Amino acid sequence: MAKLSELSASGLREELAALKKKYEALKAQGLKLDLSRGKPDGEQLDLSRPMLDSVNSKSDLIAADGSDCRNYGAPAGIPEARALMAEMLELRPEEVFAGGNSSLNLMHDCLGIAYLHGTPKSKTPWCKLPKVKFLCPSPGYDRHFSVTEHFGVEMITVPMTPQGPDMDVVEELVASDSAIKGMWCIPKYSNPTGITYSDTTVRRLAAMSPAAPDFLIFWDNAYAAHHLHPDSPDKLLGLVAELKKTGKAGMGLMFTSTSKVTFAGAGIAAMGASKENLDYFMKHWGLQTIGFDKLNQLRHARFFSDGYTIERHMRRHAELLRPKFEAVQEVFNRELGGLDIAWWTDPRGGYFISLDTLDGCAKRTLALCAEAGVVMTPAGATFPYGVDPRDRNIRVAPTFATLEEVRAAAELVCLCAKLAGVEKLLGGASEPRAR
Ligand code: PLP
């Protein structure tokens, strides 16, 4: 298909009229679709239903270390849960803390603890400093940005590349400003781009020499096991191993959870870190709670046993999710391919596809979608403070809707992106473009 930018003004006006007609027809259908929810659908959740029977009133409820899962104890998690989460984080069980139900909760807490009490390497709690800043590779995860904003952290947007955050920018900023205390990373099948950090990116991150001695990489490996193509998964270099090589083991905090493996919000969350960091943060968690939900940990550990691994389970998730991701790609390629007004990612895992429109067209595209009955993640949500400086990024979340809904919503998104794009090329919604 011809690039829209190469059409004459009259050609564009004709295109606009045709698109508007199609749009009005689609709008009249009274669609009610939602591609905003990055959560598993019912069929995915059903895959883990048998887990609810893995522990029952007749079960032996004693964990491998002898702790009774009905009682207080095992503050770092029961050994079998630590081993399970270590598998996800590709660490050793003793390097992993298995906690409650939410990794976001752990990340929020780590930041809170650093704010109130500092870290093993901080001389001063972060709240006593005049300014604390975080690097925020964007587009990124809105809830990361909400957490940092909540603590009054100044967020610095760092561009994402297909290899991960732009490391030239990261290295320069981190080395020159001691107020930069941390950085958000979603290293595998990132939210929302779906990209996996390259080996070079991981090595450069591990080799950084931050001006702040207490700089921390918040390594949120939420999609560690979430391959769409399990026979040829993306491979992520282990940050911990690289940090050990550079002698900076304390610079990374690794997080993950089984929220999108078993039950969202009812899984196990885990943190992997150096011994010094684990001991430090666990000391603080030990004041918050006498122990996390060990019965849930046991349920998970027993479900994933006898050869039924997370890897095998995630293959079944992939079978359900792949058709939805493929449907979006098929529609986007057919409707937007070659037009030069939209660009999107084709992730090999994770939960999202990232779509970029022409600059200044994301809000307009999503307003048109909403008017026609399709709800999407709000424009700007993938950037710090909810502001996309180029107003072009749209997060597409195909997991929760049915395949038919995904297809129908993707068609409408394309139509709206085209409408917004042609309006922009014409110099505004109603003004013809001067040639
Ligand atoms: N991290 C990322 C990157 C996510 O996309 C999500 C959920 O969408 C979470 C964390 C939330 O994980 P949890 O349910 O373990 O808090």
pLDDT beyond 80 at 435: no
pLDDT at res. 236: 97
Q: Return the pLDDT at 428.
A: 67
Q: Measuring CA to CA, which residue among 289, 288, 251 is closest to residue 119?
A: 251
Measured over all CA atoms, what is the biggest interatomic distance in the chain, rounded to whole angstroms?
79
pLDDT of residue 1: 58
Q: How confident is the model at residue 5 (pLDDT cuts 50, 70, 90)?
A: confident
Higher pLDDT, 5 or 391: 391
- Whose CA is closest to atom 1 on ligand 1? 222
CATH code, 4-44+312-425: 3.90.1150.10
In this prediction, residues 76-80 reach a mean pLDDT of 97
Q: Is the separation of the CB atoms in 331 and 374 below 8 Å?
A: no
The stretch 192-208 carries a mean pLDDT of 98
As beta bridge partners, residue 254 has: 219, 272
pLDDT tens across 279-306, in order?
999 999 999 999 999 999 999 999 999 9
CA of 271 to the centre of ligand 1 (A): 13
**Average pLDDT across the chain, whole number:** 96
Q: What is the predicted pLDDT for the residue at 123? A: 87
The pLDDT tens digits of the residues spanning 212-253 come to 999 999 999 999 999 999 999 999 999 999 999 999 999 999
Q: How confident is the model at residue 431 (pLDDT cuts 50, 70, 90)?
A: very low
Instruction: Give yes or no for residue 325 having a pLDDT over 50.
Output: yes
Shared fold status for 4-44+312-425 and 61-308: no
**Per-residue pLDDT reduced to its tens digit, 371-402:** 999 999 999 999 999 999 999 999 999 999 99
pLDDT value of position 194? 98
User: Span 114-118, mean pLDDT?
Assistant: 97
Ligand 1: residue of 39, 185, 259 to mutate (most ligand atoms within 8 A of CB) is 259
For residue 422, give Cα distances in angstroms to 286, 336, 432: 58, 12, 10
The ranges assigned to domains in the chain are 4-44+312-425, 61-308
In ligand 1, which atom is closest to the CA atom of 269?
15
pLDDT of residue 434: 37
Determine contact, residues 143/149, Cβ cutoff 8 Å: no
CA 294 and chain centroid, separation: 26
Rounded distance from Cα 145 to ligand 1 centre (Å)? 12
Residue list, ligand 1 pocket, CB within 6 Å: 38, 102-104, 141, 186, 191, 220, 222, 257, 259, 265, 269
Give the pLDDT mean for 245-271.
97
- 76, 63 in Cβ contact below 8 A? no
Whole-angstrom distance, CA of residue 119 vs CA of residue 182: 12
Comparing CA positions, the residue from 292, 331, 321 lying closest to residue 412 is: 331
For residue 351, the ligand 1 atom closest to its alpha carbon is 5
User: Residue 14 contacts by C-beta under 8 Å, 6 or more apart in sequence?
Assistant: none
Q: How confident is the model at residue 430 (pLDDT cuts 50, 70, 90)?
A: very low
Tokens of 397: 């979340």
CA of 106, closest atom in ligand 1: 16
Span from the CA of 242 to the centroid of ligand 1 (angstroms) = 24
User: Of 3.40.50.460, 3.40.640.10, 3.40.50.2300, 3.90.105.20, which CATH number belongs to 61-308?
Assistant: 3.40.640.10
CB 95 within 8 A of CB 86: yes
Residue 160 Cα to ligand 1 midpoint, Å, equals 19
